[in-house]
Structure formats: structure tokens, C-alpha cells
Structure 1
Amino acid sequence: MAIIFDIYIECITPEEREEIRSHFEGLSFELQTGKITHWHYAPEESQGMYGCSLWSPELSRAAVRTLADAIECTEAGIRLYQHLHQGPDFYFARVAWEATLIEASYLEDFMKWEESSGDCRLTIECVFTEALYEQLGKPKYCKAFRPGYVWTGYRGEEYHPLGSNDQTQLNHLYRDYFGYPKDL
């Protein structure tokens, strides 16, 4: 089973989604590692929204298993957000592993309330319209993305040496000392 690194974009109308498709059509870029990524478009429909995702078969299909995976996917994420920044209107977007699993309608599930101040913040990285920002109660720590849009920022992809494919000696050392996990 593949785990896909993608950008998921929701639009309000099919026309907006078509403009997004046109904007991303043929997108490819060379990463600093020399790998060239080609982005494939897939339409998605859910709960009355017109979504789409774009993914590249040149990136890891098993999440972050090496430091290179983390670096390449982080750079791809930056470039995807930059391309979105220059694109047509949309409602909600997110770059992540399996980004299509979280739609705008689920954002309230990712609100964290700070008891001391009564403020709320989103716990996921995404970009969305100012109208949705207002509807969510103006979550704290959102920043301007472009006119009419805010975002929670993008911190990049995480690499964990234990359990990775490129740190076999470290994983063996851990297993030798602690006897688990067996799958390292």
C-alpha cells in the first residue's frame, strides 16, 4: 500500500477546480537533489466541494523512510505552496502525506482551545480563505498567505532516524540494547 505525498485543494465550484487543474497542468520541477518531479492531477468530490489532488510518482511512496525523503518532500511542499500562491481562487488546500484525508469540513476537529486565554488554534498545516478563517473563529497563529487567504505555515516533513531505511547501524544498536521494536 502506497502512502502518497500530495497537495489537496478544495474549490467551491467546478469552474474553480478547472482553473486549478489548468494552473497545475504539466507542473514539474527539479529538486535540489537533482530529482525531477512530475505532478499528476486527480479530481476528488466530497460533501458538495470540488477537490483535486496532485502527486508525483518520483517521490517516496512509503512516507519518510530516509533523510533524503524528508528533504525532497519538504522542498516539494515549499514549491507546491509557492505555485498555489500564484494560482487561481480555491477554498482550502493542504500539502502533506495523504493530504486528501483531511477536508475543510474536518478543520473544527483540529482546533485546540487554550484554556488560559480562551483562544483557539489549528493543529494542522493548511491554507484557506479568510471567510473560512472568520467562520472558524479566527484561529490564533494564522498568517497572511495572499490577499483573501490565511495559512498556518508549513514546517516541512519530519525524519526520525529510528525506524528509517538509511540508519541500519543505529537501528541495530537500538534493537541490541532494548530488544524492540523487532521491525527496525
Structure 2
Amino acid sequence: MFQDIDDNWWCRVCPSGVSEIGIEAPDSAYLMTELGILLYQHLRSAPAFRYALVGLEVDEFRTFEELLDESPKLSFPGLVLSDTTWQSIKSPPTFRSFSSGYVWQPYEGEIYKPLTVSPVLKEQMNRLLVT
């Protein structure tokens, strides 16, 4: 846990035995999605919070203010907001109930993208794009 420059508290969870460099295969996408679901289950009974996001590289928002600045175009599957936070950004209809006092944009899981992890496939695609 750590605190940022605006006094927000952050928690990173990095289970042992799970890739630290991203999703390299379909089975790691499955495992990380399963872990994501478990974390969301725990969030339902967590102490009060303003917002939460589970996934890889979820640090899209460095501060609470940045979250508020993004509010007109919020589209982050898995983003959980307290009702108060949701109301402060004019209650976008893209959110639905998560638990008592919270709404969310439902989590979609983690995705394996072969073209981003395989140099061979990436080269084949690059050749296809030039022809």
C-alpha cells in the first residue's frame, strides 16, 4: 500500500506464480481473469472506498482528480465507483449496480492478444499490411 501526492491510498496485489510481464498465452489470460473475479468478490465486502479497478496496468488514473477529469468519457470495464463518486460525475448510464453503495462497468476479463506477444506473428502481420 502507498499514498499518492493527493493523499489517496493505493493497493497493488501481485500474486506469486502469476506473470509479472502481462498475458503471454491464453491460459494466463484465463488465470488472471479468474484472479480478477476473486478480487471483485472481495471488493464487495471491502472497507469503504471511492473507486477501484482490477486488471493489468490499471493505473489509468494516478489521482482521484484525474478520474473526475475523465468522467465525460469513462469507459473502463471493471471500474467500480462509490454512489457518491458516481453521482458527482453526473451518474453516467453505462454503470450498473455492483453492491450496496457502489456501481460499476462490469469486468470483461483479461485478453490474450497473440499479435502483441509473438514477434513471428507480428512480422507476418506487418508484411500483410505492406502488400
Q: TM-score range by the shorter chain?
A: 0.7 to 0.9
Provide the secondary structure at the position in 2 that maps to 1:150. Answer: strand
For the residues of structure 2 that align with 1:172 and 1:142, how far apart are their CA atoms?
Answer: 36
How many angstroms does 1:153 deviate by?
A: 1.0
Identify the match of residue 34 of structure 2 among 46, 55, 75: 75
Q: Deviations over 1:61-108 (max 9, x none)?
A: 111121112111111111100111122211111112122342432223
Determine the structure 1 residue equivalent to 2:52: 93
Flag the 1:52–1:163 CA change in 2: closer, same or farther, 3 A: closer
1:174 and 2:124 matched: yes
Identify the match of residue 162 of structure 1 among 104, 115, 124: 115
So what's the TM-score if we normalise by structure 1? 0.59
Counterpart of 1:157 in structure 2: which amino acid?
Answer: E
Provide the secondary structure at the position in 2 that maps to 1:131. Answer: helix
Structure 2 unmatched ranges of 5 or more: none
Query: Comparing both structures, which one devotes a greater share of its residues to strand?
Result: 1
Identity %: 26
Structure 1 unmatched ranges of 5 or more: 1-41, 113-121
1:106 and 2:58 matched: no
Q: Deviations over 1:156-182 (max 9, x none)?
A: 1111122435x96xx28826x8178xx
Determine the structure 1 residue equivalent to 2:88: 135
For the residues of structure 1 that align with 2:3 and 2:108, how far apart are their CA atoms?
Answer: 26
For the residues of structure 2 that align with 1:65 and 1:155, how far apart are their CA atoms?
Answer: 18
1:51 and 2:19 matched: no
How many angstroms does 1:110 deviate by?
A: 5.4
Flag the 1:172–1:106 CA change in 2: closer, same or farther, 3 A: closer
For the residues of structure 2 that align with 1:81 and 1:110, how far apart are their CA atoms?
Answer: 22
How many positions carry a matched residue from both structures?
Answer: 126
Flag the 1:46–1:56 CA change in 2: closer, same or farther, 3 A: farther
Counterpart of 1:96 in structure 2: which amino acid?
Answer: G
